[in-house]
Chains A and B, each alone.
Chain A
Amino acid sequence: MSGFPTLLWKEVLRFWKVSTQTIGAPVLTAVLFLFIFGHVMEGRVRMYDSIPYTAFLVPGLVMMSVLQNAFANSSSSLIQSKITGNIIFVLLPPLAYWEFFAAYVLAAVARGMVVGTAVMLVTLPFVHMEFRHPLWVLAFAFCGSAVLGALGMMAGIWAEKIDQVASFQNFLIMPLTFLSGVFYSIHSLPVFWQGLSHFNPFFYMIDGFRYGFFGVSDAHPAKSLAVVAAFLVLVSGLTLAVLRSGYKLRH
């Protein structure tokens, strides 16, 4: 029998055991964003002509939490294991490189989903939300968190110090998520920035996710899902190639 289910279970248990930090903290951050931005902007702007700003903001905040936490899960698990040396416990058993990949990415998806669900539940009493296309919501949440889980693996494998992972998160993941339409519709941007946003794969993740709630979006949801799926295939392929080569894990 394969060791894959155990590795997946262990990775889920790892974040569950410190849920105050891994689930509670991001939920609090998202709620603070909602209260501050909602208070300042509510009543001043309506998105897509009819959606109140706070309702528009909630899916963005949920997806931002999903993405950032998926990345944090795989990257922090790998870098901590490498630094403390306990990575040896998963390198000694007969696990294939693709089982290793699948376990870390699915655990990242699980953390993203748990945090996203928690943010959604906490914000629901304050906002009237629609759920027009729940399958689109799930599809974008799954694919988006899988992309970030794989990116987190790449960061965790490449980094040798915790601050290198933090740099990856602060200078790449954070700007790309903030500039992807979490807080605004790209139609409110100047033309140049609108065009540039189309080169940000995170834009498609958040835009498509938001479509699942309101049935409206900046880009067509099928196009967004195709872009996100293609990005997932690309990032997964790279991560699998890195794992297969043994780069920085098996000398």
Chain B
Amino acid sequence: MPAAIELCEVHKRFGDLQALSGIDLEVPQGEFFGLLGPNGAGKTTLISVLAGLVRADRGTVRVMGHDVRADYRAARRSLGVVPQELVFDPFFTVRETLRIQSGYFGMRDNRAWIDEVMHNLDLASKADVNMRALSGGMKRRVLVAQALVHKPPVIVLDEPTAGVDVELRQALWEFIRRLNRDGHTIVLTTHYLEEAEALCERIAMLKLGRVVALDSTPNLLKRVHHLFLRLRLGGQLPEELRPLEHGSTADAHVLRLKSYDDVEQALSSIRRAGCRIEEMELAQPDLEDAFVDVMRRS
């Protein structure tokens, strides 16, 4: 069974900017995969290379085993892309937009699936409304629907929830999870790391056009060897704990600790100082901590 996505030694340069520097990546079929990185890391270029919008200078790119240059028709049929920018064609209604997009993929009689996609994305009531009259969130839903009209086995979502309200975000993830359960491969880029942590089985982190981390989400989290102790105190934090402070706020102190043993020691220090603990919370590192850690080290 071919990989859903396969990139081998992919390079891309725009003038003086080396956007991709030898990317090697394989995403098996059915995986929910995350692609993370700071702005300018090369995520959108990588997606554009996959989609045939940008041609790689070197390297091989395959979607479901189809080369994106030599066998572009099969490769593009296998891929649905939700672009980052909120783009739309102002001449058409939602239904027309989806029928046209479906037709571009050679699917003429696709009404049942278009209706199902619109229903799942809560677009049915807007089916005959012109794209210009839709809110930003609704336009985003149409972009998602456009990527799905040809039932692609691989779906790439480039920051699909940027500027989207909570209700749509939840509905969207529920729908995408269902597609993933049905066997679709999902590739997600997002700046909301809690979303990536909750959804992605495996994550690649990009920096300056290189993959600097590639592992399962639990393994990436395990790389961060510390805990966070959040405290609200009825007095001053003892001086000896000040060096452990990490991102404290006005009403709470957050201590970064290496192990559970350090928790005991921190609490002893507070007791010795005669300070009262009003609220306490122990947190495991999250993907944001892992991300910051990887970016700092690489």
| Contact flags A72-84 to B (C-beta < 8 A → 1, else 0) | 0000000001001
On chain A, the residues within 8 Å of B192 by CB distance are none
* Residues of B bordering A, CB below 8 Å: 14, 48, 51-55, 72-77, 79, 81, 83, 85, 87-92, 96, 100-101, 103-108, 146, 150
Residue on B with the closest CB to A93? Answer: B104
Q: Is the CB of B55 within 8 A of A250?
A: yes
Q: Does A128 contact B (CB under 8 A)?
A: no
Interface stretch among A8-16, A58-66, A115-123?
A: A8-16
Report the minimal beta-carbon distance from A44 to chain B, rounded to whole angstroms: 46
A13–B79 Cα distance when bound, in Å, is: 27
Report the minimal beta-carbon distance from B40 to chain A, rounded to whole angstroms: 16
Q: Is the CB of A94 within 8 A of B72?
A: yes
On chain B, the residues within 8 Å of A91 by CB distance are 51-53
Interface residues on A, range: 20 to 34
Q: Is the CB of B76 within 8 A of A93?
A: yes
| Other 4 A-B pairs with CB < 8 A, given A89-B146, A90-B104 | A9-B103, A89-B89, A91-B53, A250-B53
On chain A, the residues within 8 Å of B75 by CB distance are 94
A191–B94 Cα distance when bound, in Å, is: 59
* Top-6 shortest CB links A-B: A6-B103, A93-B104, A1-B106, A94-B73, A85-B87, A3-B104
Interface centre among A86, A90, A91, A95 (most CB of B within 10 A): A86
Q: Is the CB of A95 within 8 A of B91?
A: no
Report the minimal beta-carbon distance from B106 to chain A, rounded to whole angstroms: 4
* Residues of A bordering B, CB below 8 Å: 1-3, 5-7, 9-10, 13-14, 17-18, 81, 84-86, 88-96, 246, 250-251
Q: Is the CB of A88 within 8 A of B91?
A: no
On chain B, the residues within 8 Å of A13 by CB distance are 91-92, 96
On chain B, the residues within 8 Å of A250 by CB distance are 52-55
Q: Which one, B74, B81, B88, B104, contacts A6 given CB within 8 A?
A: B104
On chain B, the residues within 8 Å of A85 by CB distance are 83, 85, 87
Q: Is the CB of A86 within 8 A of B100?
A: no
On chain B, the residues within 8 Å of A5 by CB distance are 103
A228–B100 Cα distance when bound, in Å, is: 34
Residue on A with the closest CB to B108? Answer: A1
Q: Is the CB of A92 within 8 A of B76?
A: yes
Q: Is the CB of B103 within 8 A of A88?
A: no
On chain B, the residues within 8 Å of A251 by CB distance are 14, 48, 53-55
